[in-house]
Amino acid sequence: MTTPGARSPRRPRRYWLVASVALALVLPVVLFFYAELGQARLRDASAGLTASEWRQATVEELLRSLLDAEAAQRGFLLTEDKAYLAPFDPSVRRIPPLLDGLEASYRRAGSQAGLAAVRDLRLKCGMKLGELSGSLRLYGEFGRPAAIALVYTDLGKRTIDDIRATAAGLLTVETQIRAATTDTWVHGIRVTRALIVLATLLGMAFLVAFGLLLGRELRRREAEAVELDARNRELDQVVQERTRNLSALSSHLQHVREAEKAALARELHDELGGLLVAAKMDLVWLRRKLENGDAMLAERWNRVQKSLEQGVDLKRGIIENLRPTLLDNLGLVAALRWLVSESARRSGFKCRERYSEEDLADLDPEASIALYRIAQECLTNIMKHAQATEVEVELACTAADITLTVADNGRGIARHSIGLPQSYGIAGMRHRVSALGGAMSIAPRADGRGTVVRVTIPRVPATAGDAGT
Amino acid sequence: MATTVPDPLRVLLVEDSRVLTERLAELIRLNEDVKFVGAVDTEAGARSAVSSEAIDIMILDLHLKQGNGFGVLRALAQAPVRPFVVVLTNYDLPEYKRAAMELGCTHFLDKLRDYDRLPEVLRELVMQARARVRH
């Protein structure tokens, strides 16, 4: 049973659901932005690496240029062949732009250590170049021995060692820069991967949770549907039971009504009938005594007799209306014959009748009165509403059931009014039929004009000693 | 002239109304050629009276305390010896008359309109019975 109280513990779960949905929506967005950011950072790192490689190459080229210049100076001083001096000047001229490029690159990379090293390098390169060109100047002014003497001092060697050391320092700085960049790169990739894993796990968790919730929801709906179904069936049963009760009550009332009418008819016949006839008999006796009386008395006598006869006729009419005596005395066929001829006489329609061979005098009294009342209702309806000129009545019997058909050529019944609760006459007919386990149909005639009412009821053999009332 | 007085015809009255039974008995007794043997008020009573006593004429009402006049008529239709049956009833519909005549009643009288014809009908039946005996 679902009660309002049982629903409240579900509330927190709803919040949880909302939170997880929100997370599942927000997380991919965060992931996207982080990935975009990482992409930019990777681009920067890549550019940084390229710059670092370029600087490393530049430092090596600087060293090579210096060594080239030194080799040219040494070769010339040793051999005094001018051809050795040819690469000296180009090598010396290459050095300042290389130093400028390095400085600019370190400034862009924001590396203070790099900048300091470049400044140091620039100084030492200046010293080395000064030493080289100084020795060549000595050669020009004082000759070869003076220049060789300068070479033999360890000044040149120290300077070049210093330069190598500084260049090595620079390469170390480059290695550090590359390592830092790679670290940043790896870290970014790791974070991105972690975010992807988290998002995937959350997505999976969300899917599982959603699946569970969906399953539970489906089961709940199914249970509700089952419950609803059960409740509907219950209600259906209640309705059926009430209908049965009402139907039984209605049957009972119909039965009681018939019984009361029959009792009243019997009483009228037995008591009133007897009294009236007795009065008539006494009147006949009086008449004999009055044989030679005067005319005045004879006339009175006639008037009294007439009144009596009218009274008896009235009583007979009332009795026949209350309870068709023909039905009890001569059976259904005789009663129907009389009913039809009376109706035809009163309303002037032509009637074709077809009856079973049997007189049906031993038919179950309930079935007899029901069929009689149904025929009566049909004929009353025809006289009241149908404006028919021809009526057909047929009563057919088989061993199993009896079928009564009443057809007319009147203006027909509007289909919608057949089922209306206002059509109590028809409802009453239906009830009588269903109480006897029979079936009834009301339809337009085959040619479309008029109406056919057909009633079939199973033939219940009358119990012995039950015939008549 | 009449050396042998014929036995009076035995008349049974089948009628459910006490008031009428008295008056009818009175009327029957007026005829000296018949003997009123008694009155019954049910179908079963009528049947057993016919089988136990020799009844020549039956005055039969259709409405009885138990069963009805048609039951009596049907039973008589199968009996070997059948009395004359005069139906005297309140049911004046032609259907009743036709049905009763088919079942072999000799006269069908309406209690109200034909009641005063009863003595005449009795005389007629007496004559018929005598004629039947003579031939």
Q: Is the pTM of this model over 0.80?
A: no
Where exactly are the structural domains of chain A?
4-221, 325-469
Q: Which of A44, A210, A326, A293 is nearest to B93 (CA)?
A: A326
Instruction: Pull the structure tokens for residue A143.
Output: 């000759």
Are residues A329 and B115, on separate chains, in Cβ contact within 8 Å? no
The residue extents of the domains of chain B are 9-134
Residue A275 CB neighbour total at 10 angstroms: 14
- pLDDT tens-digit map of B31-49: 999 999 999 999 999 999 9
CB within 8 Å: A284 and B116: yes
pLDDT tens-place string over residues A233-266: 999 999 999 988 988 898 899 889 999 999 999 8
Query: Sheet harboring A401-408: ordered strands across?
Result: A350-354, A390-397, A401-408, A451-458, A439-444
Best interface-test mutation with A: which of B90, B97, B108 has the largest number of A CBs within 10 A?
B90
Distance from CA of B129 to the nearest CA of A (A): 27
Superfamily of domain B9-134: Response regulator (3.40.50.2300)
| pLDDT value, residue A363 | 83
Backbone torsions φ then ψ of A467, nearest 5 degrees: -65, 145
Q: Which residues of chain A have pLDDT under 70?
A: 1-13, 291-293, 359, 415-422, 460-469
Sort out which chain B residues have CB atoms less than 8 A from A274's CB and list them.
Answer: 17-20
> In chain A, how long is the greatest CA-to-CA distance?
213
pLDDT at B7: 82
ipTM tops the 0.90 cut: no
Q: What is the nearest CA distance from A274 to chain B, expressed in angstroms?
A: 6
pLDDT tens readout for residues A361-393: 778 888 999 999 999 999 998 998 888 899 999
Residues, chain B:
135
Residues of chain B below pLDDT 70: 1-5, 134-135
Give me A65's structure tokens.
Answer: 């240029």
For residue A468, the model assigns a pLDDT of 38
Cβ–Cβ < 8 Å for B28, B36:
yes
A325-469 carries CATH number 3.30.565.10: yes
In sequence order, the β-bridge partners of residue A451 are A408, A444
Q: Which residue carries 């079935």 as its tokens?
A: A367
Instruction: For residues A209 and A211, give the distance between their C-alpha atoms in angstroms, rounded to a whole number.
Output: 5
B68/A468 touch (CB, cutoff 8 Å), yes or no: yes
